[in-house]
Chain A
Amino acid sequence: MPRLSIACVFLLSVALFGGGNAGLAAGEFEQRVVPFFQEHCIRCHGEKKQKGDLRLDTIGPDFRSPKAAMQWADIMERMSAAEMPPEDEKQPDANAVARIADWITSQLHEAEAARQATAQRVSFHKLTREEYANTIRDLLGVTYDATDPTGLPEDPDWQGFERVGSVLTLSPSHVEKYLAAAETVLNEALALGAEPKRELIRWTSEMGRVRGDVGKELAAKGILEKTRIDIVPNNGALDAYDLHVKTTGEYIVRVKLSGLRAQGGRAARLRIYATDLNRTLFEQDVEAPEDAPVVLEFRAHLPVGTHLMRIVNAVPGPNPEERASRPLNSKPFFNMKSRQPWQIKLTDEDFKPIWPTILLDWVEWDGPVQQSWPPPAHQRIFFGSNINDAAYAREILSRFATRAYRRPVKPVEADRLQKLFENAQKLGDNFESAVKTGLLAVLCSNNFLYLVEGSADAPAARLNDWELASRLSYFLWSTMPDEQLQELAGQGTLHQPAVLLSEVRRMLHDPKAGAFSGSFPRQWLQLRRVGMFEPDKKLYPDYDGYLEKSMLGETTSFFREVLDRNLGVREFLESDWTMLNERLAGHYGIEGVSGETMRRVTLKPEDHRGGLLSQASVLSLTSDGTRHRPVHRGKWVLESIVGKAPPPPPANVPAIKTSAPNQPKASLRSKLEAHRDDANCAACHRKIDPLGLAFENYDAIGHWRIEEVVRDGAGENPLLDASGELPDGRRFANAAELKKLMAADINKFAVVLSEKLATYALRRGMTFADRAELKQIAEQTKEFRLASLVEALVLSELFERR
């Protein structure tokens, strides 16, 4: 009695899910899935036969059990791959297969989101490493280099979001890292030893070009100071020197140099990169004539140890491995006319630069720089007492824990900390060191490392004011609540709508809101994939780190602009402006933009830009190192803009064929079309591909183009065709028309964006249960303005719900 059993499962699932989601799922299940299974599957996977140990007559729409979810995923994959039904069986209609695959996918997503949202009595949301470093900064006033190899591991992401609690797990190695981190930051923040000696290390040409006896000779001749370090473009690791840092801390770095712009080309670009820390300390275009060098100054936080610093001219240039690129250490460099004949020619016949070149005089490392001694954090922690006794220690630790835990410390917690202090003293530690043991414990506590919501003693559906302060603070600032938020939480008034609104507005105007406008678009739009596959140097010689940084800069500053001006979210889909600097403007072929800072630039239709979809960051993150990937682009649009992730591709998909040498050159589009002749592929790709192919006029790094450069085959390169049709039948000729169609559905996009914001803020996936509320948040926002949307979210019930 398969029908009966299915009905039973349905009823059961309604009882379990208890919501419209399950109801709808079950409705679809009965109307579409069950008949399909009956017609095509049950003969082999039913009561009588269970080929492959699979029985479909008893399967129900229960996607919450991991086992069932896996089974459903397997069913979908086999159907999509046309493995099932087998070739000798009657083949189903492709549309029907697509519908079933769609349904399974959506159910799987819902179930996964639901799992994320499963409420515990107490929920723990681990701080990301970015949040950890920010919190340490605000708590102790010191920099923690979280992304250094000695720092914390990279956070895993869930659909781009790095802060979703249930995927942020804690392994034993994490614990060790946190302990080491706490030790490091406390050592720097507290004055437990002698004041570190500030030292000045100066690198001159004697570090690089002039070594040994040559330097002595030049000194005797009085011309050593005339020597400089010539840094060719793309010098890679050619100019790398060891910096011996005796004390962890903040260093002032000064660089005296000239930066020569290539005639009609790029400016030289100084990058100082700490190899072992995998960290760029400084990067900037430099324009200063050969005879008028400038001194640049920046600060860098450096850990103790020996660091190999690369001084890089970060612009494309010849291969640094070529001898012509390399310096000659025995022959000093004096000026552009004194270079060796076998070195790459940096200037033209009139000695005007033809490559961007850096002429370095010296680099100074000055530090560690102390704001005061003892450091401010020390003074705040050891706030002052006549006697260093246990009571004073308890007070110190309680005050610190209250700030670190982002809530008042409980007496039992204070007892534990005091006990630690006492034990340490018994073991011979002096007062400060014993207090430090307690401070270490605070920094390694769950209450610090996690945003803890709820209480085991008193279950609550809503956040208390302290929890609300943290949620709000980590949402907009990615760091701990400041004193005002804590004060409001302490007063118990934060949850009041008027207070909350005023706080959101205050917070958005605070410089710390930069964390939101940087982090949220990065996670929402999956920008960390930009540059993940470095574009092939031969195919895209223009691509470099600066362009990549500028691409990201465009998207995040675009977001910031929309937020700061409280513009409508429509701008994300279609706009007549964007944010550019000289590098990216050059990449887009837009003239009149100079300098490194991102600024608002008005676009003309012929610029073929506007909105997020045609930004180089988005176009390149969906490409690989060699070519654009229309399917990936389409999938990205579905995920990030349409809010509907497509099903994963089936296994064993053959690669796209290249054209034979004697055949005409074929565009990727035509190859894709040939590739998905298979009806089973076509079903999904019909939805995905048009959204990607619409951006055919942009290559893998977002360059505008009208023909596709094809290496295989004969004849002319094919012209590009960006036209397509949406599933609802609306047609478009190109990306600009697609953007217009999408902008026409602005209300749908606003809901999707609300969902993304909520995922980011609440640190969990949104479920079907949240949809109505999200829709309401979007709809109540006037003209779908971004800052208003953020305010609406914060003021919503959803935001305060656990």
Chain B
Amino acid sequence: MNLACFAVRWSVTLLIGGFIWPACIDADVLASDAADLFTTTSGSEPHSWYQLKPGEFPPIGTENRVAGELLEVDFIHRTGQFRVNGTGDLLDFTLTPFAVISYLNAEADLRDLPLGNRYFFFLYQDQKGAFTRVAAIRDKYSMLAGEGVSYRLDVIKTDADRLVVTRQKLSANTADADQIELPVSDKTRVWKGERQVKLHDLVVGDALLINYGTGPRDDARFCTDIWVGTETHRLVTEQQRKKHHAFLKFRGIPAWIDYVKGKKMAVTLFGDPAGMRAFLSEEAIDPAKWAVEGRRVRTVVANEELRTYNPPVDGQGSKVLEFESVPVANFGCAGICWVLEPNLLLEGFRKGRVVRIFKEGWPLQDMPFGESLYSEVFGVRTGYEANQYPFRTDFANEALPWYQLKPGEFPPEMSEHRIGGELLKIDASHRSGQFRADYTGELINFTLPPFGSVMYLNAEVNLQDAPLGMRYLFFLHPDAKGAFTVASVIMDAFTELAGSQLTYRIEEIKAEQGKLIAARQMAPVKDEKEQLVRPPDYGRLELAFDDTTRIQKNGSLEKPGALLIGDELLVNSTGRTSKDRGRCLEVWVGDDMKQATETQRAKMTTFLREHGLPAWIESVEGKKLTIHFFSGDRKEFASVLDGDPNGKSVFVMLADDALSAEGANPVKMAYGGHLPEGNSGGTYGSSGVRWIIEPEVLPEGFSKGRVIRVFKEGWPIREPAGK
């Protein structure tokens, strides 16, 4: 799996005596305030970029500031994707632990940010040099309000979808000389006090603050929201501030550990300095006084995603020993450093590690299911386990070689290199094909090994049943030449999500743009009262569709118009490029998701009973064969197998590595028993089922490692072709 690795570097250089506009300049920036851009973006030479360092907040001004339209966010892992204004490039990002998000001029969480809006991203390079690490995100509103600036409405050009405004600083009673135009549309929401009003309710002279989004026509920028009057501005900021305060109180104040000496440790709180001051004051926490009084807080271990494990148990009572006011000219530093003495030092109390601080009395509770690290359900497994493997993985051990496939062995999970891409062509007889890798566009030829499986609609299918033109994840292993061409698993997006009990839920339909805004949600889980409840959403994303998108809803094929807000669905899309997130090819809504899976499974079961269950010969002892069945869907294999044939015979045909038994004769063998699964758990391609079978006479060819197809008595063995 390789998400965007391309570094989007973009800067604007102001030369004295004239402007030079790089080709990728953002129209948004051009049209609004040059100040937003020029005052903070720095460094034009690649080698001069500030590099993030453990335990160091990056100085303000060292960031690479990029504006773009937010397309996808993952609340839990604090990641997302945006489209860079101007270039249209897609950029994946990850928030640094200390990242501060400003929305409506107050601190916010990713959950608070509307998708489709444009934001300013304050970026730093990751270890590969790509600008993916976010130190701050700010909306237009916050950029303006942060400088004490608003727009004075001069003229309303309703016919031209334009507002003519002048940038003003009310506190200083100053205004710019030039007017600028704000694009609006009938989709623009106008807010006055707590009410939504119409565009034509605006009055010349109104003080406006705005946020931008992408308009009905791609690339066209327009005001998604306009807030009218200073009282409205105060109100919405206050609302967002309170919302964030509740968020902080629930999850604790994030901080990192500067040092641990003996039993003491120093922590510096994350956050916007002013916002944190207000928050602490509201909570009656005086950081300096608390140190003098030796007050106690609770310190909870967290990870870089600011997620906690089990705060009610982990929370270590900690005495505040010292307070230090630290410089705030850095991103993410709230300016408050405390030296704490916890009751017990925990492994997570190490220099550079993240903790969350709770005031005594705040309810210490677990984060919701999915977000809590005690109930992780997400696919990606990182951390210490990955680096213990004796081979390289996508997450660790870069110095080690990749796992090499071995005859007669199923590759362990995590040994693969995952690449997403669009399936272009297949050769069913050789179980091979070609796909175009996401983003890079590289054409990759692949072959399925005998145990290799194809998953489509959360069911195992034959390669020829996997639709072309659709995006899949390819679990690749190096071939003899070291090229990643051997695919142990090919999996569609439907399966990827369904396998993790995830679906989408439509929140907004932008029919004219061919876009859906959908929440990514988890299946309901049992709470402590054994009631099924759905955990909070864990992300939000934009999905594209057009008239050719097949909508499978209520048991029939529908047009996109049949989609409704609240629909629960899974999708398969086209592949991705550096500028295109892909378009939905098929959408499965509600019960049709399950039906799709069951249909595919039934189809595959029929196929397997006609063509035999693929397996290989694990060992041969005299006439006795130990065979190991393949399956890409281990959980379902029992129902395909339908029990052991105790006291009966089975029929076995020799097959080639592409699982073809063409021309082979079925050999009757006695079933001799079922063996434990051995070390096949956590591997790709194994069903976990092993049998002993024994023919009266062992024909030639039945040797260790050979691929076979196995039929139970009574299954309709198809006459091998050619006979």
Contact = CB atoms under 8 A, between A and B. Distances in A.
A8 B412 CA distance: 102
Given A222-B389, A349-B350, 20 more contacts: A217-B412, A217-B681, A217-B682, A220-B410, A220-B682, A223-B388, A226-B388, A322-B344, A324-B346, A331-B385, A332-B385, A340-B347, A340-B348, A341-B353, A342-B301, A342-B314, A342-B346, A342-B347, A345-B345, A349-B259
Contacts of B260: 348-349
Interface in A424-468: none
Interface in B298-331: 301-303, 309-310, 313-314
Contact of A338 (B302, B388, B677, B682): B388
A369 B353 CA distance: 52
A343 B346 contact: yes
B281 interface: no
A562 to B, nearest CB: 44
B680 interface: yes
Which range holds the interface residue count of chain A? 20 to 34
B19 interface: no
Which range holds the interface residue count of chain B? 20 to 34
Nearest to B684: A220
A381 interface: no
Given A341-B301, A342-B314, A221 B346 contact: no
A338 B389 CA distance: 13
A318 interface: yes
14 contacts: A216-B679, A220-B412, A221-B415, A222-B412, A223-B388, A226-B388, A323-B314, A324-B344, A334-B388, A338-B384, A343-B346, A344-B346, A348-B260, A349-B259
A339 B349 CA distance: 12
Contacts of A340: 309, 347-348
Interface in A682-700: none
B310 A220 contact: no
A223 B682 CA distance: 12
A337 B384 contact: yes
A213 interface: yes
A394 B201 CA distance: 123
Contact of A342 (B348, B350, B390, B414): B348
A213 B681 contact: yes
Given A324-B344, A334-B384, A222 B680 contact: no
Interface string B326-361: 000000000000000000111111110100000000
Interface in A205-223: 213, 216-223
Interface string A334-368: 10011111111110110000100000000000000
B413 interface: yes
B683 interface: yes
Given A221-B389, A223-B388, A344-B347, A216 B681 contact: yes
B677 A216 contact: yes
A218 B384 CA distance: 13
A502 B577 CA distance: 101
Contacts of B313: 323, 342
Given A219-B679, A220-B410, A220-B681, A341 B384 contact: no
Interface string A403-427: 0000000000000000000000000
Contacts of A322: 344
Contacts of A216: 677, 679-682
A344 B353 contact: no
A342 B309 contact: yes
A220 B415 CA distance: 11
Contacts of B680: 216, 220
Contacts of B681: 213, 216-217, 219-220
A190 B313 CA distance: 56
Nearest to A348: B260
Interface in A125-147: none
A219 B677 CA distance: 12
A221 B384 contact: no
Interface of B: 259-260, 301-303, 309-310, 313-314, 344-351, 353, 384-385, 388-390, 410, 412-415, 677, 679-683
Contact of A341 (B309, B389, B415): B309
Most buried by B among A216, A346, A348: A216
Nearest to A345: B345
Contacts of A345: 344-347, 349-350
Nearest to A351: B350
A213 B388 contact: no
B597 to A, nearest CB: 23
A170 B410 CA distance: 68
Interface of A: 213, 216-223, 226, 318, 322-324, 331-332, 334, 337-346, 348-349, 354
A674 B347 CA distance: 52
A128 B442 CA distance: 87
A216 B676 CA distance: 11
Q: Which 9 A-B residue pairings sit nearest by Cβ, starting from the closest? A: A341-B348, A217-B682, A216-B681, A338-B384, A341-B301, A345-B345, A221-B412, A219-B679, A342-B314
A341 B345 contact: no
Contacts of A222: 389-390, 412
Contacts of B679: 216, 219-220
A688 B346 CA distance: 50
A217 B679 CA distance: 7
Contacts of A213: 681-682
B390 A223 contact: yes
Nearest to B313: A323
Contacts of A342: 301, 309-310, 313-314, 346-348
Most buried by A among B351, B385, B414: B385
A324 B317 CA distance: 13
Contact of A217 (B303, B384, B413): B413
Contacts of A334: 384, 388
A222 B681 CA distance: 12
Contacts of A324: 314, 344, 346
Contacts of A220: 410, 412-413, 679-683
Contact of A223 (B302, B346, B389): B389
B341 to A, nearest CB: 14
Contacts of A354: 345
B414 A221 contact: yes
Nearest to B410: A220
A220 B259 CA distance: 39
A181 B345 CA distance: 50
Nearest to A341: B348
A232 to B, nearest CB: 11
Contacts of B412: 217, 220-222
Contacts of B415: 221
B678 to A, nearest CB: 8
Contacts of B349: 345
B347 A339 contact: yes
Contacts of B350: 345, 349
A341 B303 contact: yes
A94 B680 CA distance: 88
Contacts of B388: 223, 226, 334, 338
A223 B400 CA distance: 15
B708 to A, nearest CB: 22
Contact of A346 (B259, B347, B351, B414): B347
A352 to B, nearest CB: 13
Contact of B347 (A226, A323, A341): A341
Nearest to A222: B390
Contacts of B413: 217, 220-221
A46 to B, nearest CB: 70
Contacts of B677: 216
A324 to B, nearest CB: 6
Contacts of B345: 344-345, 354
A332 B309 CA distance: 17
B269 to A, nearest CB: 19
A537 to B, nearest CB: 15
Given A222-B390, A334-B384, A334-B388, A341 B682 contact: no
A343 B683 contact: no
